[in-house]
Amino acid sequence: MTIAELSPLPLAHLRRGKVREVYIVDDDRLLLVATDRVSAFDVVMREPIPHKGAVLTQITAWWLRQLTGGVAHHMLSADTDEIVEAVPSLADHRAALAGRAMLCRRTTVFPVECVVRGYLSGSAWKEYSATMTLAGESLPPDLRESERLDPPLFSPATKAEMGHDQNITMAQMSTMVGPRIADELERLSRLIYTRGRTIAAERGIIIADTKFEFGRDRDGRITLIDEVLTPDSSRFWPAEHYQPGRGQPSFDKQPLRDYLDAERRAGRWNGESPPPPLPPEVVAATSARYLDAFRRITGTELAADGASQ
């Protein structure tokens, strides 16, 4: 089943993101549901991308199972049968949720995006090429676009409701959450990214940068939440095409971006909502890329009903 819009679930709806819907199960638990919506250039497309939601949820679940050493995380289950068993009112929605839902421990979210950059790209490259800084702090001279950074940079940002997140310094982050928490979120972010980057690289994917979120659970534990090391929260590059000194193709969204760029150049799209309709071959190519990301990272096929094996 391909899904852009979920039919209403018998749960209180907490939040609608560009891609995910968040529901309240009870005081202690949330249900995160990844739809098949895709966004590019900050615009959500009309056409769903088959399997994308299940790919995102099951990649997160896979990473969380790899990361059990030393990192508390929010996942209770990403197995739809288990979720329906735990929340019986979802029984009629089993098919719509298959593979794409994650039952999570509910936390109080720290209001910072914990960005880790292992390669110089995107807004970081833009700032660096203008001023040789990142969030105002100096970096070594002579770095090239897409250059690998060792050690990776921790570059926190504020969570913006609208528009782009704003980079902040460690000093600003410390003021927001306290110095002890700021240090711990940095330590955890670097640890998870570094483990993830190594595992992904062995499988032909460069995770250039990524964003983590953390919350505090009801026992006060700092907990990794949200999606983890997915193509939507990270820049994935195909390792076989990596070449520093230029921008890199996106592992998952390149066919979509190329199509939208061509529409823009031809004057058929102004870059804003509503987006142009996507031809079926662009939808199919994008879906294939997401499935390939799942296959490369986990070494398994996404199961037919969207569950991971």
Ligand X SMILES: Nc1ncnc2c1ncn2[C@@H]1O[C@H](COP(=O)(O)OP(=O)(O)OP(=O)(O)O)[C@@H](O)[C@H]1O
Cis amide leading into 279 (omega within 30) = no
d(CA 61, CA 101): 10
Candidates 1-9, 104-112, 204-212, 301-309: pick the segment binding ligand X (CB under 6 A). Answer: 104-112
CB of 106 to ligand X, least distance (A): 5
- Kindly identify the residues of this chain, within the stretch 190-219, that bind ligand X according to CB under 6 A: 213, 215
CB of 103 to ligand X, least distance (A): 10
d(CA 39, CA 127): 24
Q: Does 221 bind ligand X (CB under 6 A)?
A: no
- Kindly identify the residues of this chain, within the stretch 224-253, that bind ligand X according to CB under 6 A: 225-226
Candidates 11-19, 164-172, 178-186, 281-289: pick the segment binding ligand X (CB under 6 A). Answer: 11-19
> Among the residues of 2-88, which ranges form H helices?
52-66, 80-86
Residue from 2, 17, 96, 242 touching ligand X (CB under 6 A): that is 17
Q: Does 44 bind ligand X (CB under 6 A)?
A: no
Residue-by-residue DSSP string for 145-195: TT-EEEEEEE--EE--SSS--EE--HHHHHHHH-HHHHHHHHHHHHHHHHH
d(CA 151, CA 174): 21
d(CA 192, CA 230): 13
Site string for ligand X, 53-82 (x = CB under 6 A): ---------------------x--------
75-77/157-158 β-pairing: unpaired
Residue from 6, 25, 30, 90 touching ligand X (CB under 6 A): that is 30
Q: Does 112 bind ligand X (CB under 6 A)?
A: no
CB of 139 to ligand X, least distance (A): 27
Q: Does 115 bind ligand X (CB under 6 A)?
A: no
Q: Does 106 bind ligand X (CB under 6 A)?
A: yes
Tell me the three state secondary structure of residue 132. Answer: coil
Q: Are 198 and 77 in contact (CB under 8 A)?
A: no
Residues of this chain that interact with ligand X (CB under 6 A) are 15, 17-20, 22, 30, 32, 74, 104-107, 109, 213, 215, 225-226
